[in-house]
Amino acid sequence: MSTEQRLLAKIISYEEMLSPYVDTPCWICSLYRGAREAYRIWVGEIPTGLWVLHFCDQPKCINPEHLWLVTYADNVQDRCEKGRSATGTNNGQHTHPKKRARGNRHWTRLYPEKVLRGENHGLVKNPLAAATGDRNGSRLYPERLKRGEEVNTAVLSTAEVLFIRYWCDKGYSQKELAKIFRVNPPAISKIHRRQTWRHV
Ligand SMILES: [Zn+2]
């Protein structure tokens, strides 16, 4: 028996769209890691480090239309460890939250006189000090700007951003996407509204 036949033989039921994110039935299969097999047979190779996830939220579903690949969280961590900044939960803000001066320990509280307010604020005193608009470096030398994946702290890849936009447009929950890619929901919203990753 071929893998395909083995897989099809193990389908125990077809369940009508249980999730709002799919428009075809789920093929519930009892084969262990059936979704990975299904992806390989009907969609394509699974690059190392990628995970097969379900849009339908049915772990046993093998309908290829419900399967998609995502960077495994460890992979994200790997990328961070390979010389990139610690982001997300690896970031110092997260691992040593107490070390951050907040509230009464923040310098603005300790030395309120150092905070330039109102007329003393640099931009009010000398508005031309800030290179805004066409005088900004990003306009003068756009090629110097790092974008997307080139940014050291980037967590997402271009492919993942396109993926997020595609599913946001289709109405997939931004909260869910945030969970999957381990970013904050507002980050997904910004990507969707093209406030970030505008060049993609
Ligand atoms: Zn399904």
Q: How many angstroms does the Cα of residue 19 sit away from the middle of ligand 1?
A: 8
Which one of 42, 71, 100 terminates a domain?
71
CA dist., res. 112 & res. 117, Å (int): 10
Q: How far is the CA of 163 from the centre of ligand 1 (A)?
A: 19
Is residue 126 a part of any domain in this protein? Answer: no
Residue 188 belongs to what domain range? 148-200
Is residue 99 one of the residues assigned to a domain? no
Averaged confidence pLDDT in the chain: 75
Q: Does 6 have pLDDT greater than 50?
A: yes
Spatial distance between the Cα atoms of 80 and 194, rounded to a whole number of angstroms: 24
**16-20, 76-80, 154-158: least confident range:** 76-80
What pLDDT, on a 0 to 100 scale, did the predictor assign at position 128?
54
Residue burial 167-190, b: 16+ Cβ < 10 Å; e: rest: bbeeebebeebbebbbbeeebbbe
Residue 194 lies in a domain: yes
Average pLDDT over residues 165-183: 83
Half-sphere exposure of 95 (CA within 13 A, CB side): 7
Does the residue 137 lie in any domain?
no
Report, as an integer, the average pLDDT of 81-103.
Answer: 53
- Could you tell me the pLDDT band of residue 55, with boundaries at 50, 70 and 90? confident
What whole-number distance in Å separates Cα of residue 196 and Cα of residue 148? 9
Q: Does 74 score more than 80 pLDDT?
A: no
Ligand 1 is an ion; its neighbours by CB within 5 Å are 26, 56, 58, 61, 63, 66
Structure-model confidence comparison of residues 112 and 52, the more confident one: 52
Distance (Å, rounded) from C-alpha 72 to C-alpha 99?
30
Is residue 87 in a domain?
A: no
Q: Ligand 1 centre from 129 Cα, in Å?
A: 57
The pLDDT-based confidence of 73 (bands split at 50, 70, 90) is low
Please state the domain count of the chain. Answer: 2
Position 157, amino acid: S
Which pLDDT belongs to residue 89?
56
Strands 26-29 vs 67-71: parallel, antiparallel or unpaired:
unpaired
**For the chain, what percent of residues have pLDDT higher than 70?**
58
User: Does residue 120 lie within any of the structural domains?
Assistant: no
pLDDT recorded at residue 38: 94
Return d(Cα 47, Cα 159) in angstroms, integer.
14
**Mean pLDDT highest for which of 21-30, 31-40, 177-186?**
31-40
Tell me how far the alpha carbon of residue 27 lies from the centroid of ligand 1, in angstroms. 6
Domain boundary among 51, 71, 91: 71
Of the three residues 53, 71, 89, the one that is the final residue of a domain is: 71
Mean pLDDT to the nearest integer, 42-48? 87
What is the pLDDT at residue 75?
A: 44
Distance 18 CA to ligand 1 centre (A): 8
3-state secondary structure 99-140: HCCCHHHCHHHHCHHHCCCHHHCHHHHCHHHCCCHHHCHHHH
Q: What spacing in Å lies between the alpha carbon of 185 and ligand 1's midpoint?
A: 24
Ligand 1 centroid to residue 62 C-alpha, Å:
6
Specify the 3-state DSSP secondary structure of 49.
coil
184 CA from centroid of ligand 1 (Å)? 26
Is 11:62 a contact under the CB 8 Å cutoff? Answer: yes
108 inside domain = no
16 found inside a domain:
yes
pLDDT of residue 85: 46
